[in-house]
Amino acid sequence: MFAGKTTALINRVSAHEGRLAVAVKSSKDERYGCHWVVTHDGRCMRCYTADSLAQFKELLGPAYHKLQVLAIDEAQFFPDLAEFCNRAVDDDGKHVIVAGLSGDFRRRRFGQLLDLMPLADSITQLTSKCAFCSSNGLFSLRLVDAAGPQALVGGDEKYRAACRRCYLQHSDTVQ
């Protein structure tokens, strides 16, 4: 978390200026309203929201076939991510840009992002700064409801980026 994933997503979509691009995010992410992908520093891009990527494609209808670039934010929340992306690229000729978390606050697999790795043309793994010591923040430390469900949408009020040492040190006090 806090690694600049959404910023990178917006930058990559901007690099495709002149091509028809659309963004989608999970309907679970209601932090900035349902029609905006927003970075932590306030940059934004209009988007669609959906529970699944199949629902998103259905929502677009015939306009989907005109799309050239598809940006998917908060990808870990889409249950059909891997299959949809594979078909969108291989069968439909779309350029797909995906941003999301591969691991959760328990350091376990989160969604299907890791399933995309063998299918991807390129992969960029971003890291944040540890909120405690400023080393590479590789892990998400949940500050609230540590015994709760895997999916809990939130920002710095609920999570902190942590290096391995600080994650191990602070996860005992939080949980």
State whether 52 and 68 are in the same domain: yes
Domain extent for 84? 5-126
Nearest to 45 by CA among 5, 2, 6: 6
pLDDT tens by residue, 26-70: 888 766 666 887 777 778 888 999 999 999 999 999 999 999 999
Q: What pLDDT score does 38 carry?
A: 75
| Backbone conformation region of residue 42, classed left if phi is above 0, alpha if psi is from -120 to 50, else beta | left
The low-confidence residues of the chain, meaning pLDDT below 70, are: 1-2, 30-34, 144-157, 172-175
Q: Residue 148's pLDDT is what?
A: 61
Catalytic positions, please?
Answer: 74
Do residues 77 and 67 share a domain? yes
Distance CA 50, CA 28 (A): 8
CATH value at residue 66: 3.40.50.300
Sign of CA dihedral 11, 89, 18, 31: negative
Give the pLDDT score at 174.
52
The whole-model pTM stands at: 0.85
Half-sphere exposure of 89 (CA within 13 A, CB side): 15
pLDDT, position 106:
84
Confidence at residue 147, expressed as pLDDT on a 0 to 100 scale: 58
